[in-house]
Structure 1
């Protein structure tokens, strides 16, 4: 299958590498020029379990992509989704399936401006990855992936794509309710991303704090209150228990979440407005108290002002 990874940062590079290794024709699209140049000049450096290898995968800037893929997997930052879709619209053919694996909430509305709904797949991934530098991806932990079509008539095609992803070891399965899973994943990001960023710690270190259990439950409760307005029912304790399992180093405990990588490590703007900020905005719209998400949104934006020049 010809597959474009649109937004080939840490996670995009991981997916691109794993799909390439099982014989798919993969090309990487990213707006970071140094990253693209390094991949083309030396290959994608893949570091996993102390082993390093270089993998030749074509990479290009968004405006340079010309080939129409069978599948485009979106891994852009939330705030850059619309701009990226505009940049690559020439390669989104009438039969190109588009799988959105972005963190955060509300992306399906943006996608439908540029992609026929029958070609849209929404997904949730629990894989992790990091960048040690341009063209150098570090793989850690285990993961899984859920995928579902938006148009009910496209279930067969969605399941075929799941098969391709599974062959690459991505542990994909067809979801019967991906919107629920997107909200549940947003709770993971709304707790671990924002907390680890403000506290400047990894997931394991956060989980060891005596304040962590109550803090994540307070945040999740506000997510749950807003999700109910969209017909999504979240069990606060079950979601919290799932997050607490991630603290284990054999899962993702040693990992610094993507928001920490962006802001603390690389002084880049974050996706806070599509995670805690989304709940904060909807709380005001629905007259729901979201004081924890309000505070974390404000604190992350304040940190952005200090670090992003």
Structure 2
């Protein structure tokens, strides 16, 4: 299958590598010119189990790409989704399927401005990865993902996409309620991304803090209150346990969340407005107090002011 990975950061590079390794025709698209140039010159340097491999995968800037793929997998940052879709609109064919695996909430509305609903597939993944530098990615831990079609008639196609992903050992399942799963993942991101970024720690270090359970419980309770307005039932105790499982170094404990990678390590803007900031915004709309998410959003934006000149 010809597959375009749109947003070739840590996760996009991991998926591109694994999908190409399983025999697909993959190309990467990213706005970071140094990253694109390095991949084209030296290959994508993949660090896995303390081994380094250089993998040849074509990489393009958005304005350079011309091939129409069968499948597009979106891994852009949330705030860059709409600009990216505008810039690659020419390669979104009539029958091109688009799978969104972005962190955060509210993306299907944006995608539907550019893609027919029958070709939109939403997903959520628990794979992790780290972008060490331009053209260099480190694969950490194991993971899985689930996807679902937005159009009820496209279930067979969604299952075929799952099979392609499974052939690449990406542990995909067909979901019966991916929206619920997206909210659960947003809770995990909301509990860990902003906190690890502000505290400058990895997931295991955060979990060792004496107040970690109190902090994540309060954050998740606020997510649950907003989700209930959309008739999405979130089991707070279950999600707290899911977050605590990630503290294990054999799971994601040694991982620095993507927000930490963006802001602390690379001084880039974060997706805070689509995670904790989304809850803060909806809290104001619904007149629901969300003090933890309000403060986390303000603190991350303040850290952006300090680090991004």
How many residues align? The count is 309
In structure 1, distance between residues paired with 2:266 and 2:56: 26
In structure 2, distance between residues paired with 1:20 and 1:274: 30
Q: Which residue of structure 2 lines up, in the alignment, with residue 146 of structure 1?
A: 146
TM-superposed deviation, 1:223: 0.2
Q: Which residue of structure 2 lines up, in the alignment, with residue 165 of structure 1?
A: 165
In structure 2, distance between residues paired with 1:85 and 1:264: 27
Q: Which residue of structure 2 lines up, in the alignment, with residue 282 of structure 1?
A: 282
SS at 2:147 equivalent? strand
Map 1:1-309 → 2, pairs under 5 A: 1-309=1-309
TM-superposed deviation, 1:270: 0.2
In structure 1, distance between residues paired with 2:191 and 2:245: 13
In structure 2, distance between residues paired with 1:131 and 1:187: 23
In structure 2, distance between residues paired with 1:157 and 1:65: 25
The CA RMSD measured in Å over matched residues stands at 0.4
In structure 2, distance between residues paired with 1:248 and 1:63: 42
The CA deviation string for residues 102-137 of structure 1, in whole angstroms up to 9 with x for no partner, is: 000000010110000000000000000001110000
In structure 2, distance between residues paired with 1:121 and 1:199: 35
SS at 1:64 equivalent? coil
TM-superposed deviation, 1:231: 1.0
What TM-score comes out, normalization by structure 2 length? Answer: 1.00
Unaligned segments of structure 1, at least 5 residues: none
What TM-score comes out, normalization by structure 1 length? Answer: 1.00
Moved over 3 A (4+): none
In structure 2, distance between residues paired with 1:266 and 1:54: 23
In structure 1, distance between residues paired with 2:105 and 2:96: 23
In structure 2, distance between residues paired with 1:146 and 1:132: 27
In structure 2, distance between residues paired with 1:139 and 1:27: 19
In structure 1, distance between residues paired with 2:240 and 2:54: 38
Unaligned segments of structure 2, at least 5 residues: none
The CA deviation string for residues 146-176 of structure 1, in whole angstroms up to 9 with x for no partner, is: 0000000000000000000000000000000
SS at 1:170 equivalent? coil
TM-superposed deviation, 1:49: 0.9
In structure 1, distance between residues paired with 2:223 and 2:281: 11
SS at 2:4 equivalent? strand
In structure 2, distance between residues paired with 1:108 and 1:5: 18
TM-superposed deviation, 1:220: 0.1
